[in-house]
Structure 1
Amino acid sequence: MQRHWLFDLDDTLHHAGAQVFPLITLRMTSYIMQHLQVDENEAHRLRKLYWRRYGATLGGLVRHHRIDADHFLRSTHDMAELLPLIDSSNQLPQLLSRLPGRKWVFSNGPQHYVEAMIEHLRIGHLFEEVFGIERFGHPKPRVAAFRRVLRQSGIAAERCIMVEDSAANLRTARQLGMRTVWVSQQKRKPCWVDYRIGSLSQLPRLAFSDGAAV
């Protein structure tokens, strides 16, 4: 049976934590300050509150302040700023090409951001499709987001392997019947994670069965 791979983007296919996330956070805070006319402390509070409550800061801004989603995402994810921070001299193209099966990207990032990132990383040609937040609405780990991506890609959850750095997102994946790979340096893995790997270089060595989750 052919495998279907769903890959997260940030901190899975590339390391976003060191420089990319702090810059995006800074841009979000500045945007909230400017468009809601609040000071920096209040902007920080709202950004974190909406992220916890809705899974994404944007959710609260749209719901409570009628912020234009596309304008927010493009203002806070300026690729001219972000792409120079990403090292594209990696072995990802060779590594992913060795994985048998079809591949998709499933990210909470904006569509333009996801598309630009995978092209910058030289792996765009290896994926059938990429899904940014605009394409599934509700952010991961909500079940609705997973169901929408599965429906749009035309694949069954039972045939998918989800590769993620977020244990919470993998919990939803397992509930739907996917096999799960957690990219993490933590020693202990939750019961809903099939494999924990320290880096993607370990993926080709994982022994997946052709049937249900291992």
Structure 2
Amino acid sequence: MYGERVWLFDLDNTLHDASPHIFPRINHAMRDYIAQHLALDTASADRLRQDYWQRYGATLLGLTRHHAIDPAHFLRETHRFPDLERLIAFEKPVRQTLKRLPGRKLLFTNAPLAYAQAVLNLTGLEVHFSAIYSVEHLDFQPKPMLAAYRRLLRAERLSPRRCIMVEDSLANLVTAKALGMKTVWVSASLRDSPSADIKIRSVRELPRHLARL
């Protein structure tokens, strides 16, 4: 375990593009959930959702810390996608990319397990991952919280220095880099960051950067 290269892949906006269809649906569902359970109008609920996401890196964390919201219920109600297949924007060559990458691959996501499994199944990526670490497996302590990373590392008996984390969220890479992981930022941003060893626009570019990882 300790000498093997291990890839930690985020899911949304890393392995597929959730921005066009999925994220708007999740955001609206979260807004409506907050409005209903905290008795707020939709505008106030949306502001609170965004505030918690900016402050904590996950809306869920703000709701559990400040409002005693049941995290399992919140995630279940905000990730209902009976039409998920038509919402996914996915580059099919990503399958071949993952196949070419040497080492084990783990999914490390703030999304709930049922949703993560559904996306992997619909994209055909499930065969490439030896384990899924969804937010339930992280005891509802999502990235970028240090506890989330430590829980995964303990469960897999991994040294962080053997890990390569591939993420669209720079905040999540900051924690990974501080632990000693190699980091890959999937982003179209024009800026660079010391927390990203490599910046790419798509995971399809990963094989050409292996020597630097």
Answer yes or no: same fold by TM over 0.5. Answer: yes
Are 1:93 and 2:95 counterparts? yes
Q: CA deviation at 1:141?
A: 1.3
Partner residue, 2:116? 114
Give 1:184-203 correspondences, 5 Å limit.
184-203=187-206
Give 1:119-158 correspondences, 5 Å limit.
119-136=121-138, 137-158=140-161
Partner residue, 2:4? 2
Name the amino acid aligned to 2:143: K
Partner residue, 1:164? 167
String of CA shifts for 1:19-67, please: whole Å, max 9, x gaps.
Answer: 1111100011111122222211221122123223333222232333332
Secondary structure in 2 matching 1:31: helix
Q: CA deviation at 1:152?
A: 1.3
Are 1:28 and 2:8 counterparts? no
Structure 2: unaligned runs, 5 residues or longer? none
Distance in 2 separating the partners of 1:14 and 1:185: 14
Secondary structure in 1 matching 2:54: helix
Partner residue, 1:64? 66
Name the amino acid aligned to 2:117: E
Q: Contact between 2:165 and 2:182, CA under 8 Å: does it hold in 1?
A: yes
Q: Contact between 1:79 and 1:116, CA under 8 Å: does it hold in 2?
A: no
Distance in 2 separating the partners of 1:38 and 1:109: 25
Selected match of 1:103 from 102, 105, 109: 105
The verdict on how the C-alpha distance between 1:34 and 1:19 changes in structure 2, with shifts beyond 3 A counting, is: same
Secondary structure in 1 matching 2:210: coil
The verdict on how the C-alpha distance between 1:26 and 1:81 changes in structure 2, with shifts beyond 3 A counting, is: farther
Secondary structure in 2 matching 1:185: coil
Q: CA deviation at 1:89?
A: 6.3
Distance in 2 separating the partners of 1:106 and 1:9: 7
Q: Which one scores higher on RCO, CA 8 angstroms, separation ≥ 6?
A: 2
Distance in 2 separating the partners of 1:195 and 1:49: 29
Q: Contact between 2:187 and 2:200, CA under 8 Å: does it hold in 1?
A: yes
Distance in 2 separating the partners of 1:34 and 1:120: 31
Identity %: 48
Alignment length (residue pairs): 210
Using the size of structure 2 for normalisation, the TM-score is: 0.91
